[in-house]
Structure 1
């Protein structure tokens, strides 16, 4: 079985924090690969400031480049709405039976996992890796043996910070992958609509 981490998010836009974490999980952790699953819209988030779905996917594809352990995934673009992680993981498992999918979530999401659809089933069916976020201690009850602390380095960069910096004409070239920095004007124009 191929151990495949599912790093689901809006990637609005993708930044070096996303890539560094995924790289660490592949090279220092136990994953064979990480799929960046671009989600059209989380049921727990507002649509405001969300860049176009296909543009965000394009940015992810450019950012990961030729690194063979990363893949951009758009499966949620074709799944029925509203989108729920439990349904996405089931669809992935059915479509790719040779993969053991492991959900990658931040400690901030771990703290609200009970608000996710069918969270109990999710936590007892699929392996989950929880990565650290500032001010969110990770405590995993023994009842969830499939959930692990990813024990990855703390990387506190957010897409919100990136978007705000772009709006303020800040030069954020070192926070964004070099490959997508040339798209900064398109990002800025999209954010200022």
Structure 2
């Protein structure tokens, strides 16, 4: 997966969040997007995912030397963010079944092993609404890593995780060197593996 961002600009409430962001993201590389709170890190991930539209500029996608349309990019990506709501009326088992009606399973990860290492194996029949914030975050990460995808977008991926959860996340990140990973964060432990660090404030 490659993403080519050309002149991306986003305006909100009459002011520019960032302007003329131009970058080429390459397959198999991990990137970090940094910047002060409110600088546009999360907004940039939303634009790259197709969940939000730029005020100006263009985004194009390539996968295995073929162009992927903006309407189809969702098939190639997973997005983890603390502001994404899970379906609270479902149990974790039901959520997993629902998720994998849209995504294929990743070959490099065992779902059972991910559930065990995350501490969620015995919570599969518990309603999501009874999960703690940390359990919900781990559930999102389990689904992301267990999905076959070429693009991972992670917004503050260890939010609500304790030290054990952070170590678990860091171990998993070492196993996805073949994916394009873009992480929005100001926490070095979340992007210590990143090859390139991009400060979004350079495009103010």
Q: TM-score, with normalisation over the residues of structure 2? A: 0.29
**Which structure has more helix as a fraction of its residues?**
1
Structure with bigger RCO (C-alpha 8 Å, 6+ apart) = 2
* Structure 1 or 2: more strand by fraction: 2
TM-score (norm 1): 0.31
